Amino acid sequence: DARHAGFNDLHFFSVMVDAAAKCKDLLAAEKWFEKALDAGLEPDLVLFTSMVDAACRAGDVRAAEYWQGRAQTAGFEPNKVMLSTLVKGAALAGRKDKALRWASRASEEFGPDLVMLNCVIDIHARDPETIHDAEAILENDIISKSLQPDERSFGPIINAYAEKGNFERASAYFRQMVDLHHIPPSVIQYNQLLKACARCRPPLAREAEKLFDELMALDAEQRRNKFKTRDLRPTRITLKSLGRCIGARRLSQICEEHQLDQGTLVSNFNASKQKRESTQIEQRLYEPMSRSWQKK
């Protein structure tokens, strides 16, 4: 019994729900919520938001909306953090309609916000039919409204065109990001551009080599300065995309020229590592949402 155990602090139960959420264990989160009630505590907006987050991380959008509704019944209107959590959860679950509905509500109630707009850009950019909507949001709702775009504003659009093999459009947004808005790139954008080169027919070998040389030059400059601000070291994905453009023999020559251990980069890669890297990319896209709004 929670009361006999001495756990009468609502913050304790919020922490336990958060821990269950990070393990994607919605059932455990719900049990801790019930234990808070058993302890005679009245749930607050923080605890309800934690339950919404637990449902979203478990991929259960219906449960997330249930907990949002339960919070509203208890007298708590959703704040930016809860709304952003709902947008994130719906987007990751592939429920684009719900994600956009919650994003629209957040915009109406709290005004434009870069992190939320970046999330909506990513939602539209994942669908080839709505890539132009993503471009319109970047231009009309961020740049034209004097909001400072960042890597997450451009990255989804660059990747969307790279997936289609449209190097010209992907490169144009990359150069706009770097040259016009002075946003430092990472290896992720270079990998996206190399993928665009590889998907062209025929593959753009010359452009791919230029991109790789540019990436290596930036990495060397960063290492000379001994101040690492972004990840610029080539990855297995970098070499794979470059190799598809220039061939295995030329790839080996380039790796030798740059003193890269091609074998190590490839052999150190496995499926579980790829899954972790994908998760980290998603976190980079979505987690700043809650951190930035919690400060407000």
Q: Are 103 and 289 in contact (CB under 8 A)?
A: no
Q: Over the stretch 40-56, which tens digit does the pLDDT of each residue have?
A: 999 999 999 999 999 99
State the first-to-last Cα distance of the chain, in angstroms, to the nearest integer: 36
Beta strands in 66-156 (DSSP E): none
Q: On the CB side of 67, how many CA atoms lie within 13 Å of its CA? A: 28
pLDDT at 93 over 50: yes
pTM of this structure: 0.79
> Distance between alpha carbon 267 and the CA centroid of its chain, in Å?
26
Provide the pLDDT for residue 290: 47
- Which residue, chain included where needed, has tokens 């999330």? 119
> Residue 268: its pLDDT value, please?
55
Distance CA(219)–CA(224), nearest Å, equals 9
Q: What is the largest CA-CA distance in the chain?
A: 71
Ramachandran angles phi, psi of 166, nearest 5°: -95, 85
Give the mean model confidence (pLDDT) for residues 49-68.
97
